[in-house]
């Protein structure tokens, strides 16, 4: 049957069902008809009248965009890309149509260019909102798309699962180094913090704080009152220090403060006195007002060469109990002279 007997309108209607992603070309390479799926990929949705080279860029094999050169590639796999963004890649095969006979001889032959997506099907469906109706009923591209969608759904579920697992792991790690009563760090957090400070080689201060008369609160008002005092003290320590400072409840009514970039004796003393003053303020508990005081001992990293965090902790502890021995509610900074005095825990 000749191309004359089956005109472009009728042929286009047949091709629309068999291969919705097609272009019907005349003998000069201009588009007479485009399949419904191809229209969605075309500027304005109506590529009729455009030359094929205005719509598609032939990537492989390299050849002229003249119709004669394209017809020479009939039956071969052709690689195209849309001229306009997003430059979706397509693969196709060109099939010549029978020449039209006329008084002046044979008219230039036309052709059908049947296109498919290849590896760009996912991008094309996403970018141009194609659905199963835009493909032939027997087109395996649909099955490929379903497989890709299933894989994407599975990958998304795995991503959500990994996110939940990461969140649970972080929560578990956070809980393992957090004091449940006060929300401060616990003793398990101490070694990593000191190790990090030692590795950075930056100056820092170490404060050892112990509450005075805390046992009397527990004995007189009960452990619930003691817990309320510890929580209030933690809040006052937090509000009185910087975000980059690490506050650790090392047990009972003892706290350790790791203060990065604190190396000035006067600045550390000012902070200690402010904290002692804040903690001394009465703590509301029901209809009562509970009072405790705090003693603080400190050591500065710049006094150690090489830096020895373990020795710093020992020296801060020595300074703390020197403060308690001096009357409590007092701050002391460790010095070699203080160490020689052999200050220790008061009985």
Ordered by start, the domain boundaries in the chain are 8-136, 139-176, 187-340
301 contacts 323 by C-beta, under 8 angstroms = no
Counting runs of H as helices and runs of E as strands, what totals does the chain give?
A: 12, 15
Q: Which residues pair with 256 in a beta bridge?
A: 208, 248
Give the residue among 86, 58, 83, 84 at the shortest CA–CA distance from 73.
Answer: 58
345 contacts 321 by C-beta, under 8 angstroms = yes
340 contacts 318 by C-beta, under 8 angstroms = no
Q: What is the CATH class of 8-136?
A: alpha beta
Report how far residue 35's alpha carbon sits from residue 13's, in angstroms, rounded to the nearest whole number.
9
21 contacts 115 by C-beta, under 8 angstroms = yes
The pTM of the full predicted model, rounded to 2 decimals, is 0.55
Cα–Cα separations (whole angstroms), residue 311 to 22, 148, 206, 210, 346: 81, 61, 11, 19, 20
Is residue 321 within a helix (H) or strand (E), and if so which, with residue range?
helix 309-325
Say how many CA atoms lie within 13 Å of 20 toward its Cβ: 19
CATH code for the domain defined by 187-340: 3.30.70.270
Report which DSSP code applies to 30: B
> Could you tell me the two tokens for 281?
């303020």
> Residue-wise pLDDT tens for the chain (347 aa)?
344 445 667 887 888 888 888 999 998 999 999 998 888 888 788 899 999 999 999 998 988 888 888 889 998 999 999 998 888 888 899 999 877 544 444 555 689 999 876 656 777 777 777 777 777 766 766 676 667 666 777 888 888 888 787 777 777 777 788 999 999 999 999 999 998 888 888 899 999 999 998 999 999 999 999 999 999 999 999 999 999 999 999 999 999 999 999 889 999 999 999 999 999 999 999 999 999 999 999 999 998 888 888 999 999 999 998 999 998 899 999 998 886 765 545 43
């Amino acid at each position: 049957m000749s191309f004359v007997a089956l005109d472009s309108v009728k042929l286009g209607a047949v091709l629309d069902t068999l291969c919705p992603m097609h272009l019907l070309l005349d003998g000069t390479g201009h588009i007479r008809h485009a399949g419904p799926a191809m229209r969605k990929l075309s500027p304005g949705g109506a590529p009729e009248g455009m030359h094929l080279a205005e719509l598609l860029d032939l990537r492989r094999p390299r050849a002229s965009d003249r119709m004669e050169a394209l017809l020479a590639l009939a039956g071969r796999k052709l690689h195209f890309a849309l001229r306009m963004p997003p430059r979706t890649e397509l693969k196709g095969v060109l099939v010549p149509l029978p020449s039209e006979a006329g008084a002046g001889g044979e008219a230039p032959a036309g052709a059908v260019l049947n296109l498919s997506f290849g590896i760009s099907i996912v991008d094309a469906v996403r970018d141009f909102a194609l659905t199963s109706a835009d493909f032939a009923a027997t087109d395996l591209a649909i099955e490929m798309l379903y497989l890709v969608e299933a894989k994407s759904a599975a990958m998304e579920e795995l991503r959500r699962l990994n996110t939940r697992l990461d969140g649970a792991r972080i929560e578990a790690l956070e809980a393992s180094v957090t004091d449940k009563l006060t929300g401060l760090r616990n003793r398990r957090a101490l070694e990593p913090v000191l190790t990090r400070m030692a590795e950075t080689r930056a100056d820092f201060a170490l404060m050892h704080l112990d509450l005075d008369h805390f046992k009397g609160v527990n004995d007189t008002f009960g452990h619930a009152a003691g817990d309320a005092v510890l929580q209030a003290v933690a809040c006052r320590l937090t509000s009185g220090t910087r975000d980059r400072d690490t506050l650790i409840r090392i047990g009972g009514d003892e706290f350790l403060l790791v203060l990065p970039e604190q190396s000035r004796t006067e600045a550390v003393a000012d902070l200690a006195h402010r904290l002692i003053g804040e903690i001394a303020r009465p703590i509301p508990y029901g209809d009562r007002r509970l009072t405790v005081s705090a003693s603080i001992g400190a050591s500065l990293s710049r006094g150690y060469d090489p830096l020895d965090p373990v020795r710093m902790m020992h020296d801060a502890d020595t300074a703390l109990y020197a403060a308690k021995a001096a009357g409590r509610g007092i701050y002391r900074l460790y010095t070699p002279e203080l160490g020689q005095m052999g200050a220790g825990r008061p009985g």
